[in-house]
Amino acid sequence: MAARLFAAIRFRDRKKKREQQERTSSAEGGGRTTGRRTSPNQQSPSPQGAQTQPSPAPTTGRAPKKDFIANVYHEDVVEHAMDEQKKGDGDSKSTVVTTSDNRAMWAQNLILKKPIRALAKEFAANKKIKPSDYTTEAYEKNDAKNRYNDIICIDATRVVLKDRPPEDDYIHASWMSMPDGQKYICTQGPLLEYVGDFWHMITSESSKVIVMLCNFNEGKHEKCCLYLPKEKKEVGNFGGFAVAVKASKPDPFENIKHTELEVKYGEGKTFTVHHLAYFEWPDHTAPLNPGPTVGMLKLSRTLAAKHPITVHCSAGIGRSATFVAIDYAAQKIRENANASMVDVIRDMRNQRYQAIQSAIQYVYLHICVLEIFAGDGAIPRDSKFNEYMESYVSMIKRYNKKVEAKQREREKNEEK
C-alpha cells in the first residue's frame, strides 16, 4: 500500500534525525510568501452585513493588494532540486509488460521513460501556455472583489452569480468541466467583505462539496477569510448566510478534515454541504504523499453525487487547479494511453487562467494519477513504482528546504 511506503519513508527520516541528534549531543560532551490583501491588526466592516463569528476571523480589514505570481515558484530552486535528483537517478531497467489497459500503458511509459526531472523540464518548456483568445471585462470592473492583482478571471468560464443584477454578479471563480460531465468550480479564498458572494454561489449552484486546500493564515499572511464556524455548537453569520456545523465526521484520510455544514438563508431556505479541508498542502509546492489528495478527490465526487464541487486555495489556480487536473488527466488517460499532460495544462488554462502554477505541482499531478491507477489495480506497486515514488519524495524534500530558506529570508526583508 502507498500508505505503508510513505510511513516507512517517514520512519526512516525520523530515525536519521534521532541519530543525528544523538551524535550532536555526544559531541557537545553530554552537556512565502505570496501577496496578501488584509492585515491581522486591521478591522473594517463588511458591506454585505455584519459577521458574527464564534471565533475571531484570522484577519480582517484591508491592506493594499499585492501580486501573487511573482513569488509563485523559484526556478533556481527547482533547477537545483532537479540537478540533485539527476545524481540519484539510476539506469536500472525493467521488463516491459504488454497490456491493452491505457492506464497501465501510460504508467509504464512514465516510470520507464520520464524521470522526475524530465517532468519539471517539460513544464518549464510549456509554462507560458494560455488561451489563444479571451476577455476579462468582469474581472477588470470588479477589482475590489479580486484577492490578488495579477490572478485573472476570464469571462468565458467565470461563474455568474444567479439572481443578481449584472453589476453585482461577479465572483473570482471559474467553471471547469470533466470529460465525464462532472463540474468543478475553482475559486479564490473568500474575502471577508464579500463572503456572502461565496455562500450565494454555493447555494445557488447547489454545490454539495467544498474542498479547501489552504489554511486561513499561512505564515504572516491571510490566504482565506473565515467563512464557517469552527465549533459544532456555534453558528456564524456570513454575509446573510447562517452557517452551522451539522456534524463533525471522522477524518477520512490522513490530515483531511470532514465537516457537514447546514446553511440557512433567504426565507426559510436550508442547504447542506460537505466541507473537506486539507491544511497540509504547502503553498507553491506539493505534499509528500499523494494518498490523502487522491482519497479526498474520490470522496468529493461521491459526496457531490454529480453536483458541482467547489475547490479553493488562496488564489484558486495552484493547489485548486492541480486538484481538478488530477481528475481530468486520469479520465483522459483512461480514454487514451497517449494523452498529453501538456494538453491537460492547456485545457485547464482554457477554463481557469494560469491553472497549475509550478513545476512541482505539475510533477505532483503525475504522481497522483499514478496513485489513482495503482489504487484501481491497473498498475502494480512493484519495485519500479516504489522507486519512482521515492524519487519524487526525495526531490520534494530538497525543494522544500530551499523554498523555506528563501521564504525566511523574504520575511526578514519585509520586516525591515
* Mean pLDDT of all residues in 126-135: 96
Give the pLDDT confidence of 255-268 residue by residue, as tens digits.
999 999 999 999 99
For residues 19 and 49, state if they share a domain: no
Query: Which residues are marked as active site?
Result: 313
From CA 277, how far away is CA 251, in angstroms rounded? 10
- State residue 257's pLDDT score: 96
For residues 27 and 37, state if they share a domain: no
385 against 24, higher pLDDT: 385
- State residue 96's pLDDT score: 40
For residues 146 and 25, state if they share a domain: no
Q: What secondary structure letter does DSSP report for 287?
A: -
Give the pLDDT confidence of 321-357 residue by residue, as tens digits.
999 999 999 999 999 999 999 999 999 999 999 999 9
* Mean pLDDT of all residues in 95-123: 86
Q: Which residue has the cell 479571451?
A: 134
Alpha-helix residue ranges (DSSP H) falling in 28-115: 75-88, 102-113
Q: Are 227 and 34 in contact (CB under 8 A)?
A: no
- State residue 51's pLDDT score: 37
For residues 83 and 147, state if they share a domain: yes
What is the identity of the amino acid at 62?
R
* Mean pLDDT of all residues in 21-45: 38
Task: Say if residue 386's pLDDT is above 80.
Answer: yes
For residues 20 and 49, state if they share a domain: no
- For position 103, which CATH number holds? 3.90.190.10
Give the pLDDT confidence of 231-243 residue by residue, as tens digits.
888 899 999 999 9
From CA 53, how far away is CA 236, in angstroms rounded? 5
How many domains is the chain built from?
2
- State residue 7's pLDDT score: 52
Q: Are 226 and 53 in contact (CB under 8 A)?
A: yes
Grid cell locating 193: 467583505
- State residue 36's pLDDT score: 39
From CA 3, how far away is CA 269, in angstroms rounded? 42
45 against 177, higher pLDDT: 177
- State residue 95's pLDDT score: 35
For residues 177 and 208, state if they share a domain: yes
For residues 160 and 309, state if they share a domain: yes
Find the range with the poorest average confidence among 134-143, 232-241, 308-317.
232-241
Find the range with the poorest average confidence among 155-169, 186-200, 391-405.
391-405
For residues 342 and 242, state if they share a domain: yes
The percent of residues in the chain predicted with pLDDT above 90, rounded, is: 68
Residue 42, number of CB atoms within 10 A of its CB: 11
Task: Say if residue 17's pLDDT is above 90.
Answer: no
For residues 323 and 337, state if they share a domain: yes
Tell me the residue range of the domain where 302 lies. 32-415
Average pLDDT, the chain: 83
For residues 332 and 317, state if they share a domain: yes
Q: Are 263 and 202 in contact (CB under 8 A)?
A: yes
For residues 111 and 230, state if they share a domain: yes
